[in-house]
A and B are shown apart, each in its own frame.
Chain A
Amino acid sequence: AQSVTQLGSHVSVSEGALVLLRCNYSSSVPPYLFWYVQYPNQGLQLLLKYTSAATLVKGINGFEAEFKKSETSFHLTKPSAHMSDAAEYFCAVSGTGGFKTIFGAGTRLFVKA
């Protein structure tokens, strides 16, 4: 079985500060891991995807995530927050062998001026 836990339904940072959004997963098969972003009144958009190549994955808009198997984590980071990063972020896990994609509950990121 697969599951995703996003720690913190809301995260608030100041503009220019580090962004860290946490995601832990469980999977009985090697996982594929995704981060999606949802801006207000829009659909979800892929930020980045891990598919067992490099453990550090770089995505769009300066975001990156590191796959840590020992910690079953796939945390999303960005060195310097921008006001335009305010959105909801979803971590998702899937895998081969018939597993459907499971989305986390989402973390809403607030960026303060």
Chain B
Amino acid sequence: DSGVTQTPKHLITATGQRVTLRCSPRSGDLSVYWYQQSLDQGLQFLIHYYNGEERAKGNILERFSAQQFPDLHSELNLSSLELGDSALYFCASSVELGGPSTDTQYFGPGTRLTVL
């Protein structure tokens, strides 16, 4: 158990819909990362938040957005869903007190999104 929690574990929805994925980082971790993992694209970095502020963006579509709240939990919002958005979405957290990306990332169990 990494200490990172993600809800829901599974999500099935239809094209055109909007969903929200939730992540609670490990206690004390200030950074939250979101990743998408699919068979054809592999593990793709989406976005990084540090203490409530966006730090870096990766291959995140404009239909996707995220935020980190004052209690440090994070939500990833996916809208106008397409079949190709079906994937595993992982959240990871790290302490990252100073310089970014040198700390170990602790991954949650993921949310499996299926778009029908």
Question: Which residues of the partner chain A approach B110 to less than 8 Å between Cβ atoms?
Answer: 42-43
In the complex the two chains form, is A43's CB within 8 Å of B100's CB?
A: no
Interface size class of A (residues with CB under 8 A): 20 to 34
In the complex the two chains form, is A44's CB within 8 Å of B107's CB?
A: yes
In the complex, B65 has a CB within 8 A of chain A: no
In the complex the two chains form, is A103's CB within 8 Å of B45's CB?
A: yes
In the complex, A13 has a CB within 8 A of chain B: no
A34 to B107, CA, bound (A): 14
Q: How far is the CB of A81 from chain B (nearest CB, A)?
A: 23
A16 to B42, CA, bound (A): 29
Q: Which stretch in A17-25, A61-69, A71-79, A90-98 binds the other chain?
A: A90-98
Main secondary structure, interface of B, reads loop
In the complex, B108 has a CB within 8 A of chain A: yes
Question: Which residues of the partner chain B approach A98 to less than 8 Å between Cβ atoms?
Answer: 99-100
A4 to B21, CA, bound (A): 28
In the complex, A49 has a CB within 8 A of chain B: yes
- The chain A residues found within 8 Å of chain B, CB to CB, are 32, 34, 36, 42-46, 49, 51, 90, 94-103, 105-106
Known: A32-B102, A100-B101, A102-B45. 16 other contacts (CB 8 A): A43-B92, A43-B109, A44-B43, A44-B105, A44-B107, A49-B104, A94-B100, A99-B101, A100-B56, A100-B100, A101-B33, A101-B45, A101-B101, A101-B105, A103-B42, A105-B42
- The chain B residues found within 8 Å of chain A, CB to CB, are 2, 4, 33, 42-43, 45, 48, 56, 58, 90, 92, 99-102, 104-110
